[in-house]
Structure 1
């Protein structure tokens, strides 16, 4: 083939000296040594059936780093006896994609071999680059597999996603990481030519703290072996190699954590709310973003059931701007636990949404004459006089304020809003209205 692209064919791990990272050289060769993602790789699953029947044209794998997206793509190429061309969308151009497609076309014409074109970080391709793949996917020149850590619905073009099977990979659970390390350890020791062992406590610690990222776990093991000054490695050594715990805090994690945070407060669970607060803080979330979310929550979900919640949230927002981290964690925790344990009402939130719906979708109400500014054009005092409520004993008078009968604000029987409801019911009686 007249190109410089690397086309991989199956070979033994030990056919050549290892010059790549350990995690890359230990990629599984087949489903039998692939760990995790049972929902995708189990016998009878849609992915397995698509591969075994050789009937896919385009696949998108989405999921966090280190969950096996690249490994699965490589396994698929081996299982379907196809050449494997790997590109990274970070540093590949449309021209390089065209070279890959040309190589695949030549392989099909001259040797009858199929080609799997794998593009890692496919979300980094712009619309034109993504669309450049469509024709060759449809005519069968390449079997396309894309990998992304982002939501395909937001970051990939509809034209590409509509032609693809989309599979989501999940972070590996600690037992899966532990099983992977146990299975790979003999090869790791042989590959690195090391005489070393790891305590069960050390491997358990690493399995729990690599955040479901198999590649990170193997990278830590490699570093520990290469820097070892003893025959047996314990938890302290792996903890040092792990250094700062990794957090998968991309755009999806940002929104998911914020969602879990808000829903925990709404569910009146202060422990869960503080956990998600701590998670966001440790991942480096902007404390002003957190403070804004608490202010919104205090009004949307607590509302008049406890009006002090909004006051506290605003005060917390001002305080974190002045104080900064790490002390702001205390201020945020106070606001979060207060809001989580406060009585809840979304009556004010619902009221303004109902009113906005009427304003947008119905004819605008005419402002009653007695409510208009006397200085405005068209004002006619003969069409009604405004009655000043403070001149009455109850500071309340029966008077029309909108022109139509409707109810937007309906307070709940919780917290301070219960008192508001009692007051509104009393005014009803003064107006002579029945419940």
Structure 2
């Protein structure tokens, strides 16, 4: 755990509190609870080649090491970024020797952030994985179905780990505060339940973050000669919560998706929350603006044609102001879009027309509509500013108006012009 001559107190609390057994492991009950699939395999002494996928601080590395210790296997660790093919071949040879020495018990080859593996690295390990000469276990914070080569993925099981719940984190913090061997028990500091809950809530599901925060604030209390950890003390020492969001990670796409779906579902409070999460994570303002413009056209659409110009004006204002004022402008646009009536008729219409063309519906331009044609009737010459006239060689129907907002009025006007916009109409 620590180098010779190094005080154990120099080792971070999160490292000291790493679980030594599966029963100490916090969270992930869907994988390790009684009767859960991975737990049953480990209890039977079996370990599959697998990928542990989840955000930081949820126990991926700890679980790999427990998988080895619980099943009595050697563990060989390799770095996905720096490992050379020659080093991987040496690892394969070592794993083969260990298997022979352990009466057929294969070693675990542990690869952290396995998505960094390139094709040559994969090719060096795949035959050994297929033959069972080693058990490949990788961890990743990136979505393996997007980031990992399908050839490798097809030979492994993916186990997804979730952020820890507030209850799990609070229990972990309480245990760390009381543990005299590995934790902070020798400080003899008591903690209000609300204080531990506050630290847990601020950690964003990350056990490492929660323990790091506890260690810092407990040391602060101890340095002042105090013996009680209060919620007020937590808030004054640690005013900012850990935002689980990374522009390059899967969370980035999840939060953006939540924003757009909240707008589409007409929930301004949820939409504002996810906007704030994006801003707190340092999301590029232009990216947010592009998504709002798309939502204005796709989700609000013709039910409120003002949504697009309102959003476009917000985008221009954001460009001129920047943060922190841009957050107010974006909030106004998000509230407008979420509260507006909704219609995706334009989105469906253009997709329908595109699919017709893809299927070979390639019509000739009617002669009277060509620049060199004749017979075209100018609609503005009629008092109605409309005349019955054919605009396609073969009539097709792509646009089906919604009934909300201004689109209902548009539909009513179109019904006066074309029978196909009336129920059962075809022209």
Q: TM-score, normalised by structure 2?
A: 0.90
1:266 pairs, out of 264, 274, 281, with: 264
> Conserved in 1, the CA contact under 8 Å of 2:415 and 2:422?
no
Q: TM-score, normalised by structure 1?
A: 0.89
Corresponding residue for 2:252? 254
> Conserved in 2, the CA contact under 8 Å of 1:57 and 1:140?
no
Check 1:407–1:105 CA distance in 2 against 1; reply closer, same or farther (3 A cut): same
The 5-angstrom pairing of residues 57-96 of structure 1 reads 57-96=48-87
Take 2:165 and 2:420, find their aligned partners in 1: how far apart are those partners?
Answer: 64
2:206 pairs, out of 210, 213, 222, with: 213
Q: Which shows bigger deviation, 111-120 or 150-159?
A: 111-120
Q: Would you say how many aligned residue pairs link Structure 1 and Structure 2?
A: 416
> Conserved in 1, the CA contact under 8 Å of 2:45 and 2:70?
no
1:149 pairs, out of 122, 129, 141, with: 141
Corresponding residue for 1:175? 167
> Conserved in 1, the CA contact under 8 Å of 2:195 and 2:231?
yes
Q: Deviations over 1:246-293 (max 9, x none)?
A: 222232111111111111111111111111111111111111111111
1:106 maps to 2:97: yes
**What secondary structure sits across from 1:133 in the alignment?**
helix
Q: Deviations over 1:157-190 (max 9, x none)?
A: 1122111111000000100001111223233675
> Conserved in 2, the CA contact under 8 Å of 1:189 and 1:196?
no
Take 2:422 and 2:291, find their aligned partners in 1: how far apart are those partners?
Answer: 42
Check 1:41–1:235 CA distance in 2 against 1; reply closer, same or farther (3 A cut): same
RMSD in angstroms over aligned alpha carbons? Answer: 2.6
**How far did residue 122 of structure 1 move?**
0.9
**How far did residue 152 of structure 1 move?**
0.7
Take 2:368 and 2:99, find their aligned partners in 1: how far apart are those partners?
Answer: 83
Take 1:88 and 1:272, find their aligned partners in 2: how far apart are those partners?
Answer: 40
Corresponding residue for 2:392? 402
Corresponding residue for 2:123? 131
1:284 maps to 2:282: yes
> Conserved in 2, the CA contact under 8 Å of 1:412 and 1:421?
yes
Q: Deviations over 1:292-312 (max 9, x none)?
A: 111111111111111100010
**How far did residue 149 of structure 1 move?**
0.5
Gaps of 5+ in 2: none
Q: Deviations over 1:196-243 (max 9, x none)?
A: 333323211111110000011112223334454233333355446646
Take 1:179 and 1:222, find their aligned partners in 2: how far apart are those partners?
Answer: 15
